[in-house]
Amino acid sequence: MKSPICSFDAKTGVLCSKCEAKLRGGDISQDDVDASTKLARIADRNQDVNKFTLLRSVRVDGDVVLVLRSPDVSILRGNNTLSEKIESDFGQKVWFVESESSDRRFIEGLFNPLRVLSVNLFWLPDGNKLTKVIASGNVARSRFDLPKVQKIAKAVRNIELFVEFEQR
């Protein structure tokens, strides 16, 4: 498994001087370190996870966001047992997001199982940009947490989400 820290550090939970310097210099965060060691523990016993590349991790409220390569996220989407196992080992809700996908695909992943109908970018007069999403689906049944999704989009990709739900 590849992660923001060396695999030896991830296995032992102790940082070498190089990774320690990266952490102090702000190149990596404590969230990256925590997620790397937790995921490495799972990788020890799981071939799929052992091939994962964790690029970074962010904590949003009580949840953990793991930014992984797209093939890794595809494996997780097709294997609920594995994603549930990772969540239970982390002891938190875990979001799996793709590092290299387009913004639209990234947003679709966050909204799943709701459907994203359109994604449009707007520039505000103050120079900030706003991403307007129109989505449909049963918000209540899917337990969709919009404020959380907005925070994750902001934390991972600096996307300011404005969402409208299509009534059907």
Binding site for Zn ion (CB under 5 A): 6, 9, 16, 19
Q: Shortest Cβ distance from residue 17 to Zn ion (Å)?
A: 8
Q: Shortest Cβ distance from residue 19 to Zn ion (Å)?
A: 3
For Zn ion, the closer of residues 19 and 60 by Cβ is 19
- State the Cα–Cα distance between residues 66 and 54, nearest whole angstrom: 7
Q: Shortest Cβ distance from residue 98 to Zn ion (Å)?
A: 25
94 Ramachandran zone, left/alpha/beta (phi>0; psi -120 to 50)? beta
Q: Shortest Cβ distance from residue 52 to Zn ion (Å)?
A: 18
Q: Shortest Cβ distance from residue 167 to Zn ion (Å)?
A: 52
C-beta of residue 32 within 8 angstroms of C-beta of residue 48: no
C-beta of residue 119 within 8 angstroms of C-beta of residue 131: yes
63 CB-near residues (< 8 Å, 6+ apart): 92, 93, 94, 95, 148, 152
Tell the burial category of 17 from Cβ atoms under 10 Å away from its Cβ (0-12, 13-18, 19+): exposed
For Zn ion, the closer of residues 10 and 116 by Cβ is 10
For Zn ion, the closer of residues 9 and 72 by Cβ is 9
For Zn ion, the closer of residues 17 and 158 by Cβ is 17
**Angle at CA of residue 51, ends 47 and 57, nearest 5°:** 115
For Zn ion, the closer of residues 18 and 129 by Cβ is 18
